[in-house]
Structure 1
Amino acid sequence: MALVTTSDGVRLHVEEAGEGTPILFVHEFGGDQRSWEPQVRHFSRRYRCITYNARGYSPSDVPADVEKYSQKRAVDDIRDVLDALAIEKAHVVGLSMGGFATLHFGLTYPERVLSLVVAGAGYGAEKEFEEYFRDVSLEVARQFEEQGSEAFSHVYGMAASRIAFLLKDPRGWQEFRRHLGEHDALGSANTMRGVQARRPSIYDLEEKLKAMTAPTLVLVGDEDDHCLQPGIFMKKTIQACGLAILPKSGHTLNLEEPALFNQFIAEFLAQVEQKRWLPRDPRANPAQIMRTD
């Protein structure tokens, strides 16, 4: 365990396990670094696994100023963690809010990336729901402040995309809900206002995504409705991108289906390291239905 100080003076709580090629895990809004335990236990047998709590998630610092929170700042925090650990390049794995940060990290610092795993990323990306997402994000922030994390966790944890987790693994869901209830209410509110409500839509990144060459795996649950179409969009837009859709699965993918989640990532990393995760072959023209000559 260590405290890393970012370039703007915020301390982040970092943990490591294992040795080898580094994998940095970036958590979702509803989770924290504890959420990656099934992945750290699996991948630390062969990799150097790093987790950290984002700003606003104690024991990392919880800045009171909402302007200390942004999508750009979340990206630079990934860089600062790697810098503090003297890591030149890493595989970066992110879920939801962490998936957005991972994607933006690949766009902003491509030279620091071995590969990207973007899981459950898409909320607020759909243009028809963009305004609604920003409004509901501000309402979520207000509820965290007014009710406190413990009380509001019972509501937030029952979102539609969490129900598949609850039904499959009630004990796992209850642990997720309990951890959510332990989050700092101010940190959660500021994260919602500063990061979630202000981040650009994935669709607004189309030209940048087309130019991105990092090997990328997109993971999404088939019952995570507002991530499905953004997942397909990323698959079609990023040059070296694969898409895995997990059946009967919601948003909390890494906890809901840890074995499948780990399996897909392990196979992806193996192909990346053998330089076999390639851009789509131009002969596989998506406009072609059948070949006749």
Structure 2
Amino acid sequence: MRARTDDGVELHWESHGEGEPLLLLHEFGGDHRSWRPQVAHFSRRYRCLVYDARGYPSSDVPTDPDAYSQERAVADALCVLDAAGESSAHVVGNSMGGFATLHLGLRHPDRTRSLVVAGCGYGAHPDQDAAFRAESRELSRRYADEGSAAVAADYGAGPGRLFLKDKDPAGYAEHLAVLAEHDPTGAGLTMAGVQASRPSLYDLRDDLARMDVPTLIVAGDGDDGILDVDVMLRRTLPRAGLAVLPRSGHLTNLEEPALFNALVEQFHAQVAAGRWARPSQE
């Protein structure tokens, strides 16, 4: 199915199952296929909505750099919800999708029933900010000059992704294949317009401290670039919990799908029971 955004970009989206809506937002290195283990599990009880972000076929690939930003990523998530006829949803995102999930709850809390923010935090720490933005701009240049397959060979070998290789070699090979299939224009402009240009989470702490959406933060203990940031988010967000998966990296939903799914289910059950309030001692 196709959803048309207010700036004329068409997004490919899919709906699986019936029940409460569960919107899944993929990371930079993936696309809607990155959520297969979750769709297979949750579509038995939820209506799972997945889509390809702008710049990721089968969605449109705008060539205007101004078409890519963190704000556009949030607007696109809302566009898919609207196309699906859903006023609100439980939202789950990883990495780039985790940032979009967090910003969706921050800017449009009325559209979110709960948030699962996984793998979120790269480049957000003040000590990493400048280097991350420079690295993202360099990756954008490499996509233009070298193409997706060349970038995938290096990007896919990052330490946070090698946990998947050790645990599930076939799953890792599929992950690399998806990464190598990225449209170089879309990937490069996403790197420049979204990754390298998004606001620092540390600059948003006052806003985050007022966000009242139930939030589960998920991190792998081997995903070193995000752990300090996720502790900050846990301490800042009024209704947040933090789950750290042992011996895990950046792709927790693929590395440990059963554990990831169980954590999400337990979280949703707590939210439904009204048990995900601010702890009294806080």
Q: What TM-score, normalized by structure 1, do the two folds share?
A: 0.95
- 1:290 alignment partner in structure 2: none
Structure 1: stretches of 5+ with no match in the other structure: 286-293
Alignment pair present for 1:247 and 2:238: no
Provide the residue aligned with 1:288 in structure 2.
none
Matched, 1:8 2:7: yes
Question: For 2:113 and 2:187, how far apart are their aligned partners in 1?
Answer: 30
**Cα offset for 1:68?**
0.1
Deviation of residue 198 (structure 1)? 0.3
Find out whether 1:75 has 2:74 as its counterpart: yes
CA distance in 1, matches of 2:90, 2:99: 15
1:147-200 per-position Cα deviation (integer Å, ceiling 9, x unaligned)? 211222111100121121111111111110001111101100000000000001
CA distance in 2, matches of 1:202, 1:253: 21
Question: Residues 34-86 of structure 1: CA distance to partner in whole angstroms, max 9, x if unpaired?
Answer: 00000000000000000000000001000001110000010111111111111
| Matching residue of 1:232 | 231
Q: Which residue of 1 aligns with 2:150?
A: 151
Q: How does 1:121-270 map to 2 (within 5 A)?
A: 121-270=120-269
What is the aligned length?
282
Distance 2:247 2:17 in 1: 32
CA–CA separation in structure 1 for the residues paired with 2:72 and 2:52: 14
Is 1:64 the counterpart of 2:55? The answer is no
Rg: which structure is higher? 1
User: What secondary structure, in the 3-state scheme, does the structure 1 residue paired with 2:114 have?
Assistant: strand
Structure 2's unaligned 5+ residue stretches are: none
Query: How far 1:278 moved relative to its partner?
Result: 1.1
Aligned counterparts of 1:204 and 1:98: Cα–Cα separation in 2: 19
- Counterpart of 2:33, as a letter, is R
Report the more deviating stretch, 33-42 or 83-92.
83-92
Same amino acid, percent of matched pairs? 52
TM-score by length of 2: 0.98
The 1-side partners of 2:11 and 2:269 are apart by 30
The aligned counterpart of 1:28 is 27
Q: What pairs up with 1:70-109 in 2 under 5 angstroms?
A: 70-109=69-108
> How far does the alpha carbon of each residue in 1:249-286 deviate from its partner, in whole angstroms, 9 at most, with x for none?
000111111111101001001111122111121xx25x
Runs of 4+ in 1 over 2 A off after TM superposition: none
Q: For the residues of structure 1 that align with 2:201 and 2:159, how far apart are their CA atoms?
A: 22
Q: CA shift at 1:203, angstroms?
A: 1.1
Partner amino acid, structure 2, of 1:84: A
Please name the residue that 1:19 is paired with: 18
SS of the counterpart of 1:4? strand
